[in-house]
Structure 1
Amino acid sequence: NATFAGSWYVVLGSSVAFVSSSVVNALLNCAIGSLFKSDGFFSFASRSYISTAIAQLVDNFIFATIVSKVFFGWTWIQVFVCSAIGAGFELLGEVFFSGLGYKVVRQWEKERVGQEYIEYKKANAK
Structure 2
Amino acid sequence: MQVGAATGNLGRVRIIAFLAGFIVVLTAVLLVTLAVTAGARRRRHASQMSARWAVRHYAIPGRGHTVVGVALTDADGRVHSEHVVARIPDDAQDWQRDFVAARQEAEERAFHLNIDRPPIGG
TM over 0.5: no
Q: Calculate the TM-score normalised by the size of structure 2.
A: 0.30
The structure richer in strand per residue is 2
**With CA pairs under 8 Å and 6+ residues apart, which has the higher RCO, 1 or 2?**
1
Q: Calculate the TM-score normalised by the size of structure 1.
A: 0.30
The structure richer in helix per residue is 1
Largest Rg, 1 or 2: 2
